[in-house]
Amino acid sequence: MSENAHLKSAAYGRDQVVSIINSVIDKVHKTDFAAKDVLFQELHDLKMIIDDSRKQLGSARAGDINGVHIPAATDELDAIVGATEEATGAIMDACEVIQEHMGKMDSAVAALVEAEVTKIFEACSFQDITGQRVSNVVGTLKTIDEKVGKILHILDESVPDKEDQQKHIAAEEAEKTEAERLLNGPQLPGNAISQEDIDKLLSAFDD
């Protein structure tokens, strides 16, 4: 059974919900007063638990999980794949240049260099394996993102919009120390300051 079919079979229609509520009400009316008090107390306690859970979700900003944190994590992982691809390409290009000049070397030295260059080419295969593993992690994160979104929808918890996300991220960044910012590593390409921005900033000091 597919996930959507399972969700549909697990969901109650309006008529079913009304029928269940009427059944509970009917049973309450047929119960003695002492049992009614116990039932009402249990229902009240259950309501308090649900309300408390909703408050905790709200204070924990559960919407940030799939609104901020998971998208940020997948962006960082995509950047890792891109950076390793670029670095691997540069390494292999350099090895090819070395191979082109090996004819100018002493034969013994050329043989040694050829063997080492071959090892470098073989080692560069790590990029394919790493890319596959990172892609698997990204896929898992997207699945979690989808599941969290469904839970929030069921609980009627709103996912922060783009503006709220940016404000929240800016507030978190403002609270970080310089050491913590450095631990985050380089900025993503889309978030990094461009050379044009740097030039504008420097020109402002010249005025």
**Distance between CA 17 and CA 11 in Å, rounded?**
10
**Domain range spanning residue 84?**
62-180
Angle at 129 between CA 79 and CA 124, to 5 degrees: 85
> Is residue 199's pLDDT more than 90?
no
Is residue 52 located within the same domain as residue 95? no
Q: Residues 130-143: what's their mean pLDDT?
A: 87
Q: Contact, 121 vs 95, CB < 8 A?
A: yes
Is residue 87 located within the same domain as residue 168? yes
Is residue 19 located within the same domain as residue 99? no
Using CA atoms, how far residue 184 sits from 60, 178, 197, in Å, is 22, 10, 22
- Our count of domains for the chain comes to 2
Lowest-confidence region among 19-23, 25-29, 183-187: 183-187
> Which range among 49-63, 89-103, 160-174, 182-196 has the greatest average pLDDT?
89-103
Is residue 95 located within the same domain as residue 69? yes
> Is residue 5's pLDDT more than 50?
no
> Which range among 59-73, 133-147, 171-185 has the greatest average pLDDT?
133-147
Q: Rounded to the nearest 5°, which phi and psi values hold at 186? A: -65, 155
Closest CA to 88 of 129, 133, 138: 129
Structure tokens at 192: 């990094």
Q: How confident is the model at residue 2 (pLDDT cuts 50, 70, 90)?
A: very low
Structure tokens at 110: 């050329």
Q: Residues 82-87: what's their mean pLDDT?
A: 90
The pLDDT assigned to 184 comes to: 56
Q: Rounded to the nearest 5°, which phi and psi values hold at 10? A: -85, -20
> Is residue 97's pLDDT more than 90?
yes
How many Å is the Cα radius of gyration of the chain? 30
Has residue 204 been placed in a domain?
Answer: no
**Distance between CA 74 and CA 70 in Å, rounded?**
6
